[in-house]
Amino acid sequence: MMDAQALYEMALQATENSYAPYSHFRVGAALLCEDGSVFLGTNVENRSYGLTICAERSAVVSAIAAGKRRFTAVAIATPDAEGPVGPCGACRQVLSEFMEGGSLVVFGHRKEELITTTIGALLPQDSLHELREKRK
């Protein structure tokens, strides 16, 4: 498995393709698939702000389009922030659709201050995860 630091570096690289002319807040994501492949995503803003897509969902959409459905880790880089910024609620929900509760989530504004957690910790008492556990 790829380590958290390497995955974060990939997310940081993805921020270079960010389209953030309104907020000037670049975000990159690197999504590790169960088979070891990695998909990158970046935020794409729109002047109609509700149409903006987050980096995490951008990565998920790319992976799904390539036929991937199971993800084991995600890294999120926010180099323009003053501190670590975790995924928004919508991204947490989308990520939880395709990740087990114990899947790794790492995020930060620089590699020296990374937060490492799990999707289950970011979205506790997720009904989908609870249903999966009951079916086992």
Task: Establish whether 113 is a catalytic residue.
Answer: no
Contacts of residue 87, defined as CB under 8 A and 6 or more positions apart, other chains included, come to 54, 56, 74, 76, 95, 105, 107, 122
Q: Shortest CA distance to 7 belongs to which of 81, 94, 71?
A: 71
**In this structure, which amino acid lies at residue 129?**
H
Q: Tell me which of 34, 56, 97, 130 is the catalytic residue.
A: 56
> Known catalytic residues?
56
